[in-house]
């Protein structure tokens, strides 16, 4: 009998981290306030008490130092899992990530593997101050040598963090912070899919709606509203945004003939842009309408009181659905 347990996304990540810390003493968890405090979102709560300073410890407030330490530990045979406290704080560590971490394995012709996981709470929706709500995933998806993933539900969160830690390549693990306390069933016995596979969450035949991370919940809401109006939307959760499982997306588009891509990030030079371009290449003759993108506006994340205007909602997605169906 399959063992299911109801968890929030934050608790699911915590449970996945606990499994790997217990399984392998060379798995190390560190970052700003992740030990005794359990992180600002309490995702790592209780891990320091269970595993001690040797495996779970606080770092200085120095993101470049956090990443540099992780690279050195990986070179010595450890599997570091480091946390960047908020998405907007990752940029001081950007140079270490893109010029060292991403390139070390290639530069050493495979001699130095980089089994590093960088956990990043990201996205909007929590009413935070400046630098505490960003969608920087495209910077890293653009960088060869990095894997970039984002779970949208507790079951994926539980399994994907463990799969990321098992990877011998560096993984940027983007956690949708406004969904941390969203609950759902977790299958404790079996992972749902390989780390870089997309999944059809809601079957449909009129339009494909591809998205990831925090926008998946909004996409499912849009599909439910559309169904009440007789419109059938197929929702595809990308789960991984580098590499992207284009086969699942393209097969869905070949069935529906239309595609809308949604994300919180601005559309210009985005993950959504890449999905749109690749589908145009691989399913051009099946497309019955142009691919449309729904994203944040091309401005910096606004002040908290304007955040909900900036973030795409079900109405903006359904407007795009109506437009592709009008062709």
Distance CA 187, CA 289 (A): 38
Question: Which is nearest to 233 in space by CA: 255, 208, 257?
Answer: 208
Residue 183 burial (CB count, 10 A): 13
196 three-class SS:
coil
Instruction: Collect all residues with Cβ–Cβ distance below 8 Å to 5 and sequence separation of at least 6.
Output: 185, 186, 188
**Is residue 142 annotated as part of the catalytic site, yes or no?**
no
Only one residue has tokens 């949208």, namely: 152
Q: Work out whether the CA dihedral 220, 222, 224, 230 comes out positive or negative.
A: negative
124-312-157-256 Cα dihedral, nearest 10 degrees: -170
Question: 48, 112, 131, 132: which is the annotated catalytic residue?
Answer: 132
Pairing relationship of beta strands 4-8 and 147-149 according to DSSP bridges:
unpaired
- Which residues are designated catalytic? 132
């Amino acid at each position: 009998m399959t063992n299911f347990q109801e968890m929030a996304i934050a608790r699911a990540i915590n449970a996945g981290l606990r499994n790997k810390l217990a399984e392998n003493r060379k798995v190390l968890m560190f970052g700003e306030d992740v030990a005794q405090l359990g992180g600002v979102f309490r995702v790592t709560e209780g891990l320091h008490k269970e595993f001690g300073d040797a495996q779970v410890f606080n770092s200085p407030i120095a993101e470049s130092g956090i990443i540099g330490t992780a690279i050195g530990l990986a070179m010595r045979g450890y599997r570091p899992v480091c946390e960047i406290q908020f998405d907007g704080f990752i940029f001081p560590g950007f140079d270490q990530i893109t010029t060292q971490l991403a390139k070390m394995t290639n530069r050493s012709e495979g001699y130095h593997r980089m089994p590093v996981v960088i956990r990043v709470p990201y996205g909007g929706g929590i009413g935070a101050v400046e630098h505490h709500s960003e969608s920087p995933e495209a910077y890293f998806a653009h960088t060869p040598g990095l894997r970039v993933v984002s779970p949208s539900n507790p079951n994926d969160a539980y399994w994907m963090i463990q799969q990321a830690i098992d990877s011998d390549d560096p993984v940027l693990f983007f956690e949708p912070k406004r969904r941390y306390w969203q609950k759902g069933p977790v299958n404790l016995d079996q992972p749902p899919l390989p780390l870089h596979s997309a999944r059809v969450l809601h079957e449909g035949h009129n339009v494909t709606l591809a998205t990831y991370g925090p926008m998946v919940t909004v996409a499912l809401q849009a599909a439910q509203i559309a169904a009440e109006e007789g419109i059938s939307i197929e929702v595809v959760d990308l789960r991984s945004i580098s590499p992207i499982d284009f086969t699942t997306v393209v097969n869905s588009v070949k069935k529906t003939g239309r595609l809308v891509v949604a994300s919180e990030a601005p559309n210009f030079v985005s993950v959504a842009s890449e999905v749109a371009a690749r589908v145009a290449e691989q399913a051009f003759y099946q497309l019955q309408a142009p691919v449309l993108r729904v994203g944040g506006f091309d401005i910096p994340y606004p002040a908290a009181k304007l955040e909900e205007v900036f973030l795409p909602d079900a109405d903006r997605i359904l407007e795009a659905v109506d437009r592709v169906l009008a062709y």
